[in-house]
Amino acid sequence: MGMTMTQKILASHAGLPSVAAGQLIKAKLDLVLANDITGPVAINEFEKAGFEDVDRTARIALVMDHFAPNKDIKSAESCKKCRTFSKRFGIENFYDVGEMGIEHALIPEKGLIAPGEAAIGADSHTCTYGALGAFSTGVGSTDMAAAMATGETWFKVPEAIKVNLIGKKQRWVSGKDIILHLIGMIGVDGALYKSLEFSGDGLADLSMADRLTISNMAIEAGAKNGIFAVDDITLRYMQERCDRSFESYEADPGAEYVRIIDLDLSEIPCTVSWPHLPSNTHPATEGGNIEIDQVVIGSCTNGNIEDMAVAAEILRGRHIKSGLRGIVIPATPKIYMQCVDRGYVRIFMDAGCIVSTPTCGPCLGGHMGILAAGERAVSTTNRNFVGRMGHTESEVYLASPAVAAASAITGHISHPGEVVSA
């Protein structure tokens, strides 16, 4: 029987000629990741078990992004624990304030993951790296601790849903609209435990930034991972970032899928998820009477330079609605500097937005942009659960950078066409 792309990567990391859905395997890992929230818990487990050293076969990465620059004493202690641990074991890929970016933007940018590789991270959005044709998934802190000690973990081999992309996107439509649309179609448990495998002619119309956004939110459909076929766009992206050799896997022609979804990109509108579930999707054009207090453009979902470019294109020479707070968060220092060099920072600030340091910040209701009771935000982040950005009576509307920027200008949820002609 043929294998899916995910199954082939898992088989190779398990040292097996083939694997089948449902099988329990032990797999070697290329990357093991945690952040300033989950890292300390994993470190505690690691120390409690009394390991003398970390495994050196997998790259270990610790990224201080959620509450950094530290927002209070507790978060400072958490980062300190990771810092001390990294020093003790000589962990190269420890990223602290100054070098730190949001983990799922930073890891691909630094070339720490490549096509065909396998990664786990103690963070649910670790599935982001599927965009590069890697297998990656989120796990718990105990899994992370064990993987730091052994360089491997166990998996149950998932079934897969194939998403066959065709056609070309409409103007202003991006990866964000595509994944929100898909989650709206299949629901927040539509891909529970399964792989979402993206392929088809439509791939050619999706930049790496689009793909990273789509894979990032695979978990919001319940998926274990969301993976893209490797093409020229992937290879070009890797060439600039990584000099390791890697292997690209393709699904077998006879691979078995529990479901095949044909997605015509040309039919997908600019899409917004109303509170309080990512699956509660509506076309952006329906948001005309929804007044907003804050706009956030950033996060591991939409903090890339392409996202900044779209926002700048719309905000250039315009001003956000008075009384509205606009917060722009480039996801990494590199992206931040690109925003400076390309003049985006001036555009954002002239428009009345503030450009924040790279951090998760408001995305998880952490700091630097929390909502009060009754307030509404349009945000390019990935979750709009009750209380996600602050008070339990606040609301988050998930959207693309284009819709978020346009909405900042009008003060209500807007299609970009409302503020920019053609």
Partner 1 sequence: MRAEGTAIKYGNNVDTDVIIPARYLATQSHIELASHCMEDIDKSFVSRVKPGDIMVAGANFGCGSSREHAPIAIKASGISCVIAENFARIFYRNAINIGLAILECPEAARSIGEGDEVSIDFDTGIIKNVTRDEKYQAQPFPAFIKDMIEKGGLMASIKGGRKCTKALR
DSSP class of residue 31 equals E
Scanning 22-30, 96-104, 130-138, 157-165 for contacts with ligand SF4 by CB under 6 A, the matching segment is: 96-104
Nearest to 185 by CA among 124, 287, 302, 263: 263
Scanning 51-59, 102-110, 267-275, 300-308 for contacts with partner 1 by CB under 8 A, the matching segment is: 51-59
Minimum CB distance to partner 1, residue 54 (Å): 7
- How many degrees, rounded to 5, is the angle at CA 4 between CA 23 and CA 234? 130
Can you tell me which of 18, 150, 280, 357 binds partner 1, judged by CB under 8 A?
150
Distance CA 40, CA 354 (A): 31
Q: If binding is defined by CB under 6 A, does position 179 make contact with ligand SF4?
A: no
Scanning 96-104, 150-158, 163-171, 380-388 for contacts with partner 1 by CB under 8 A, the matching segment is: 150-158
Gap between the terminal Cα atoms of the chain: 49
Q: Helices marked H in 247-316 — which ranges?
A: 299-302, 305-315
Q: If binding is defined by CB under 6 A, does position 363 make contact with ligand SF4?
A: yes
Distance CA 78, CA 41 (A): 9
Q: 143 and 153 in contact (C-beta within 8 Å)?
A: yes
- How many degrees, rounded to 5, is the angle at CA 397 between CA 349 and CA 221? 125
Q: If binding is defined by CB under 8 A, does position 259 make contact with partner 1?
A: no
Can you tell me which of 76, 91, 364, 419 binds ligand SF4, judged by CB under 6 A?
364
Scanning 100-108, 148-156, 278-286, 360-368 for contacts with partner 1 by CB under 8 A, the matching segment is: 148-156
Which residues, 101 to 120, sit near ligand SF4 by CB under 6 A? 102-104
Residue 278 burial (C-beta neighbours within 10 Å; 0-12, 13-18, 19+): buried
Residue with tokens 């505690």: 44
Which residues, 7 to 66, sit near ligand SF4 by CB under 6 A? 65-66
Q: If binding is defined by CB under 8 A, does position 98 make contact with partner 1?
A: no
Can you tell me which of 36, 45, 177, 307 binds partner 1, judged by CB under 8 A?
45
> Where do contacts with ligand SF4 occur on this chain (CB under 6 A)?
65-66, 102-104, 123, 125, 299-300, 360, 363-364, 381-382
